[in-house]
Amino acid sequence: MATRPSRWCGKCRKVHAGDCPNRVAWQKPVKAKSGRGGRPWRRKRERVFERDGFLCRECLRQGIVTVVTLHGTKAGICDHIVPKAEGGSDAESNLQTLCQPCSDLKTQLEAQKGRKQ
Ligand SMILES: [Zn+2]
Ligand SMILES: [Zn+2]
């Protein structure tokens, strides 16, 4: 039977054998990935906005041209057409550009729909 040699652990800064027994001390709790927030998401959002010509798709459906920007007060929302809660994916085909009011409205409607179910 092989004995595992004790060694200096750079993680917990103690000497021990094998896997670090003090993991909880240094390991950050693993958060569920939200899909939003990281750099890849930001890049994807940019691509979706460019694809949609920086126009709110929902407004466009009603014949209104609403230009959104990446940042600032007119910043648009990269919206999941099929909500993630309903199994929608992060694929660009399931993403659309919305202005803040349209996004708020959609979120509201989705919440209502969720409550009825
Ligand atoms: Zn350790
Ligand atoms: Zn809109």
Total number of domains constituting the chain: 1
| Nearest-ligand number for the alpha carbon of 6 | 1
- pLDDT of amino acid 48: 98
| Nearest-ligand number for the alpha carbon of 16 | 1
- pLDDT of amino acid 36: 56
- pLDDT of amino acid 19: 86
| Nearest-ligand number for the alpha carbon of 9 | 1
CA of 91 to the centre of ligand 1 (A): 39
- pLDDT of amino acid 96: 98
Q: What sign results for the dihedral spanned by CA atoms 110, 112, 115, 117?
A: negative
Residue 85 falls within a domain, yes or no? yes
Distance between CA atoms of residues 97 and 116, nearest Å: 27
Distance between CA atoms of residues 46 and 3, nearest Å: 54
Residue 112 falls within a domain, yes or no? yes
The boundaries of the domain holding residue 76 are 39-116
- pLDDT of amino acid 30: 65
CA of 32 to the centre of ligand 1 (A): 25
CA of 7 to the centre of ligand 1 (A): 9
Low pLDDT (below 70) residues in the chain = 1-2, 29-38, 116-117
